[in-house]
Structure 1
Amino acid sequence: MNRMLATALLIAMTILAGCASGPGPESRRHTAEETRQLALEALNRRGLSFDEYHRLKAQLQREQPQAYGFEGMGQVNAERAQVTHGRQG
């Protein structure tokens, strides 16, 4: 009876430990570089002809995600709601 109780406790602890662990790395979002790397790895496994492989690889490497930013937009004054390029304030 003691052996059954110990086995049941071991199984219960194993299940609870699995539920308590944090999310795995597969549940997070990938960065643009990681996505590109995964696409290149998938391309390597497809078994394409030499020309087709290099055409698709060049296409993947040309695709650079456009970063959205405020560089080059100048300064914005919220009170006047206008862009003042090259001026302070």
Structure 2
Amino acid sequence: MKTLAAPLLLLALSVLAGCASHVSPELRPYSEEESRQLALEDLGRRGLSFDEYQSKKAQVLGQPQKSYGFDSQGVMSAERAVRTFGRPI
């Protein structure tokens, strides 16, 4: 009986010691880069419009917000010709 009890006691103690010293990664704080990456992933899942997404992304990344909009005539058209050098219109 003593020969069986000693290995079982030793096994139980080693399992308990292993569980007590376990450090889970959830208990450590996120680094700044990890927090930024999680925020960007969250933005991708939200289904925001393009303007809202770009605005929120600029806030997360700490960049100045770019304005996207209309030209001086109040018209945004894909048919307006843009001259580029070396290419036909």
TM value normalised by structure 2:
0.43
Higher strand share: 1
Instruction: Mark the structure with the bigger radius of gyration.
Output: 2
TM value normalised by structure 1:
0.43
